């Protein structure tokens, strides 16, 4: 009798354990949410950041997934805009420069409509830009009069900032000759004197108050002693007063990128890039993405060789207002006391 009792008890316990392992109705594991992240071309920082974030989510998040898609930011926006809503709302963008985003909001050329339904999720990169030259006689903006200046390829978003700086702050735009080149060709353009100065100095904010540089900037600075043409707070104020978008001023201290790089404390006109979503993108999905990035910013930065990804600091961007921010992201920022804009 006692043996039967033990057998019965064991059977009951076994059945109970088996039932406890079964998913209960409404308590099953959440299905994966798959986002497309439309970025720039493979190999550029925006695509690398998207790919790295995709790998981190797959390794560490239970249900949020990202598939990077390469392309050009302008074309990406219009392509996604034509998608059916059920696909469009799960498509994010990660390559729109701040000047482009403002133009998109206002429906200014080349944008076909006012993209007020395109919302900021996070700002993930703050980039400062300056003209550089090997000519020791070119030290100030006025020394550029009559000179040849190399810019990025036409339609590259950062060009708009430098053209505005030359026109609205320095008053020299109509005295210089512009040409357009691939970033990796900038060094050769300077060495062969095809141009006198290039828009090839790109400083990137890194973690811990440090600065990084793009590969083409590193090439320029490594070849010869390079003189940087500085921007001042007054220059930035003049630019912001005459343009629909707002620029910032990145202050790079002497020798921040190595001895003589720059040769003195230098101000760079700066803009940001970030991740955008549509107003129909589910709030809980955006909230979860921002939360994940905030909690894993150090790892994301480390994987990107120290590039600053603590978006809580650089979300305070000139001209950014709460109505531009996705409600899901705004909810998280409010919970953490993170101020939008400045």
Output 253-259 pairs: Cβ under 8 A, ≥24 positions apart.
256/203, 256/210, 256/211, 257/203, 257/211, 257/212, 257/213, 257/221, 258/221
Q: Are residues 140 and 223 in the same domain?
A: yes
Identify whether the C-beta of residue 96 lies closer than 8 Å to the C-beta of residue 283. no
The pLDDT, as a whole number, for residue 306 is 58
* Domain span holding position 287: 33-124+272-336
- Which among 271, 288, 322 is the end of a domain? 271
Q: Are residues 112 and 234 in the same domain?
A: no
- Which among 214, 246, 271 is the end of a domain? 271
- Burial pattern 120-133, b for ≥16 Cβ within 10 A else e, equals bbbbbbbbbbbbbb
The pLDDT, as a whole number, for residue 49 is 85
The pLDDT, as a whole number, for residue 200 is 79
The pLDDT, as a whole number, for residue 70 is 86
Q: How many independent structural domains does the chain possess?
A: 2
Q: Are residues 260 and 167 in the same domain?
A: yes
Walk along the chain (342 residues) and give the pLDDT tens digit of each residue. 545 444 444 444 444 444 344 443 333 468 999 999 998 766 567 788 889 999 999 999 999 999 999 877 778 899 999 999 999 999 999 878 889 999 999 999 888 899 999 999 988 778 889 999 999 999 999 999 999 999 998 888 889 999 999 999 999 999 999 999 988 899 999 999 999 999 978 877 765 667 778 788 889 999 999 999 999 999 999 999 999 999 999 999 999 888 999 999 999 999 888 899 999 999 999 999 999 998 998 888 788 765 655 555 556 677 889 999 999 999 999 998 888 876
Q: Are residues 69 and 111 in the same domain?
A: yes
pTM reported for the whole predicted model: 0.82
Q: Does a structural domain hold residue 249?
A: yes
Q: Domain of 229: which CATH number? A: 3.40.190.10
Helix, strand and coil content of the chain, in percent to the nearest 5, comes to 40, 25, 35
Q: Does a structural domain hold residue 311?
A: yes
Q: Are residues 215 and 236 in the same domain?
A: yes
DSSP 78-90: HHHHTS-HHHHTT
Identify whether the C-beta of residue 117 lies closer than 8 Å to the C-beta of residue 279. yes
């Amino acid at each position: 009798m006692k043996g039967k009792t033990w057998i019965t008890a064991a059977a009951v316990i076994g059945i109970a354990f088996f039932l406890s392992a079964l998913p209960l109705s409404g308590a099953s594991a959440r299905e994966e949410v798959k986002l497309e992240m439309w970025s720039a071309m493979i190999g550029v920082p925006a695509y690398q950041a998207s790919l790295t974030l995709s790998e981190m989510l797959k390794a560490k998040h239970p249900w949020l997934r990202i598939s990077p898609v390469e392309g050009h930011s302008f074309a990406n926006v219009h392509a996604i805009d034509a998608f059916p809503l059920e696909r469009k709302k799960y498509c994010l963008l990660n390559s729109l420069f701040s000047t482009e985003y403002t133009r998109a909001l206002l429906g200014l050329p080349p944008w076909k409509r006012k993209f007020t339904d395109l919302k900021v999720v996070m700002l993930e990169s703050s980039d400062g830009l300056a003209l550089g030259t090997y000519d020791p006689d070119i030290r100030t903006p006025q020394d550029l009069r009559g000179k040849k200046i190399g810019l990025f390829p036409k339609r590259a978003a950062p060009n708009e900032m430098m053209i505005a700086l030359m026109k609205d702050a320095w008053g020299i735009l109509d005295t210089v000759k512009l040409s357009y080149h691939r970033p990796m060709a900038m060094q050769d353009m300077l060495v062969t004197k095809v141009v006198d100065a290039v828009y090839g100095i790109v400083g990137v904010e890194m973690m811990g108050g440090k600065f990084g540089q793009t590969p083409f900037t590193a090439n320029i600075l490594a070849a010869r002693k390079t003189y940087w043409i500085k921007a001042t707070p007054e220059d930035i104020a003049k630019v912001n007063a005459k343009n629909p978008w707002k620029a910032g001023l990145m202050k790079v201290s002497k020798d921040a990128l190595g001895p003589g790089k720059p040769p003195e404390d230098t101000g760079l006109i700066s803009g940001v890039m970030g991740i955008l979503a549509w107003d129909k993108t589910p709030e809980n999905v955006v909230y979860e993405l921002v939360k994940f990035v905030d909690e894993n910013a150090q790892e994301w930065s480390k994987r990107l060789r120290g590039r600053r990804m603590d978006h809580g600091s650089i979300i305070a961007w000139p001209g950014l207002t709460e109505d531009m921010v996705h409600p899901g992201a705004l909810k998280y920022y409010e919970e953490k006391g993170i101020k939008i804009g400045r």
